[in-house]
Amino acid sequence: MTTIFIGGSRHVSHLPSEVKKRLDNVVANAYQVVVGDANGADKAVQKHLLDSNYEKVTVFCSGNTARNNLGNWPLHRVDPPKGARGFQFYAVKDRQMAREADFGLMIWDGKSPGTVLNVLRLLQAGKISVLFNIPDQSVVNIKSTENWRSFLSGCSTALRSDIRERATPEEWASVEVETKQNLIPSLDTLPRSGVRDEAVLLLNQALASGDAARIMETLGAIARSCGMSRVARETGLARESLYRSLDASGNPEFVTIMKVLSSIGLRLEAKMSESAADRASV
């Protein structure tokens, strides 16, 4: 029996008509459905299947209790690793669904890294995914590594970094991406534990350029290489906010910049510019 893994973003509470048509097709073909228990897309999919009186559904949850099981369908509990918290606690059920499904139907809000990671997991298992991008009203079919790389190259730097940080080393290594939009490729090889001399050099060059976008993008790349989760924890700032701030279009407060610099082991130092030195000597 064909099994469909249906998932999506927590910020998706209403399903587009095109998605509903796909779900109706799943019902018409009597496919087995595996779906998560989260609020948002998972709950909306459950409601649509419940309204269709569909029974061939299994709800997956991490731990012992499902957050949502609207149809009282069979429950598949997945034990998370000991000590797992937050995203990693709930990701174990997604990995299990990706292994058990034959195809994937993902309903995306255009920014959720978790939904895109499920596409990656399905791809790893040799399975095709259909990704509905609700804001763009577009559909992407991910059938191969080339499809994945093409899709990911069009994503923002912050989203690509968030996906990479949340993925396991095995998940990411299978489809290692050379990002065409990365303006600072030499930072890709920086150790996660800290910065190297070349990172300091690149940041100094960006500061000397006076280009605010370049400065933010360089600082953001260094912070990501050190681990944005660690930087967020040490600065007391939200990781999502840091990704937005430390982007080419970001405009963070100065105190945020200072906190980030301190977290990654750097500091600012004033130096008289050559033009100012020339004027002083006249």
Domain containing 34: what range? Answer: 3-173
Position 212 scores a pLDDT of 85
User: Does the pLDDT value for residue 186 go beyond 80?
Assistant: no
Residue 258 CA to residue 268 CA, distance in Å, equals: 8
Give pLDDT, residue 163: 86
Tell whether 222 and 141 lie within a shared domain: no
pLDDT band (50, 70, 90) for residue 145: confident
pLDDT in tens, 165-175: 888 878 877 66
Would you state the pLDDT for residue 275? 55
Q: 196 with 186: CB under 8 angstroms? A: no
Task: Give the chain's mean pLDDT.
Answer: 84
Residue % of the chain over a pLDDT of 90 = 43
242 or 72, which is more confident? 72
DSSP 115-130: HHHHHHHHHHTT-EEE
Residues 17 and 157 in one domain: yes
| CA-wise closest residue to 79 among 60, 63, 57 | 63
Decide if 30 is inside a domain: yes
The CATH number given to whatever domain includes residue 39 is 3.40.50.450
Pairing of strands 3-8, 32-35: parallel
| 152 and 250 inside one domain | no
Instruction: From 140, 183, 138, 191, select the one nearest 160 (Cα to Cα).
Output: 183
Cβ within 8 Å of residue 134, ≥6 positions away: 12, 16, 107, 108, 109, 110
Residue 83 lies in a domain: yes
Mean pLDDT score, 214-236: 83
Mean pLDDT for 51-79 is: 95
Residue 217: the pLDDT is 82
Q: For residues 135 and 194, state if they share a domain.
A: no
Q: What is the pLDDT of residue 167?
A: 84
* Burial status of residue 270 (CB atoms within 10 A of its CB: 0-12, 13-18, 19 or more): exposed
Whether 154 and 194 share a structural domain: no
Instruction: Tell me: do 109 and 195 sit in the same domain.
Output: no
Q: Are residues 41 and 152 in the same domain?
A: yes
Please give the pLDDT value at position 80: 85
pLDDT digits (tens, 9 = 90+) for 77-114: 999 888 777 778 888 999 999 999 999 999 999 989 99
The number of domains in the chain is 2
